[in-house]
Amino acid sequence: MKKTELTDLPIYSFEPIANFQSKVLILGTMPGKESLKMSSYYAHPQNVFWKIMFTLFNLPYSTDYLIRREMLLINGVALWDVLERCTRRSSLDTDIRTEYPNNITDFLLSHPDISHIFFNGKGAENYFRKYFPEVTLSKQVMPSTSAAHAKKWEEKLEIWKAIINIRKK
């Protein structure tokens, strides 16, 4: 009998962080290994997602996941992943196999104030365009907050500032 490999087992994304005041949606691809282990979005200590968000909203940085979630909600930001489940050997998007999308169409219908989608990296955008070509909201690809993407912190932050302008509309 063949030994089951890690890649044979599906991994699942988390529930979205959102409320009815959400104005923008940030979409990742699929949680990485550290995030899955910690049951929280962007849990890898070298991922700068939370550092960027707290900086954008001029708030003191916190590692408390409940505070992180609340900070997004108060500021009109929804967070989710394009994929509901997949198989993957590592945390890299390039290792994703046998993927299935989340029901983003219904999510957007139930959150009508969302006017803009930001993709945390090109992988999220690629899967979104594959599964949701009918969605006509404004979209923007942001540099991945993963440490695997070598863009400098200051460069990433500058590009991510686009969220502030959209959220205020």
Distances from the Cα of 18 to the Cα of 71, 90, 91, 92, 103, angstroms: 11, 27, 24, 25, 14
The confidence band for 24, taking pLDDT boundaries of 50, 70 and 90, is very high
The CATH code of the domain that includes 52 is: 3.40.470.10
Is 90 a residue whose pLDDT tops 90?
Answer: no
Mean pLDDT of 88-109: 77
Cα–Cα distance, 12 to 141 (Å, whole number): 23
Q: Provide the pLDDT confidence category of residue 168 given band limits of 50, 70 and 90.
A: low
The answer to whether the CB of 101 falls within 8 A of the CB of 84 is yes
94 or 148, which is more confident: 148
Q: Is residue 106 part of a domain?
A: yes
pLDDT digits (tens, 9 = 90+) for 116-128: 999 999 989 998 9
Residue 1 belongs to a domain = no
Quick check: is 69 in a domain? yes
Q: Which residues contact 141 (CB under 8 A, 6 or more apart)?
A: 118, 119, 121, 122, 124, 125
Residue type, 72: L
Alpha helices in 14-152 (DSSP H): 33-38, 49-56, 65-74, 104-110, 122-131
What is the domain range of residue 55? 6-167
Which neighbouring-strand residues pair with 101? 83
In a domain, 38, yes or no: yes
Checking if the pLDDT of 45 tops 80, the result is: yes
Looking at the structure of the chain, the number of domains it has is 1
- Per-residue pLDDT at 3: 45
Q: What is the pLDDT of residue 118?
A: 98
pTM, whole model, 2 decimals? 0.89
Instruction: Judge whether 87 lies within some domain.
Output: yes
DSSP state of 132: -
d(CA 69, CA 113): 19
Predicted pLDDT at 60: 97
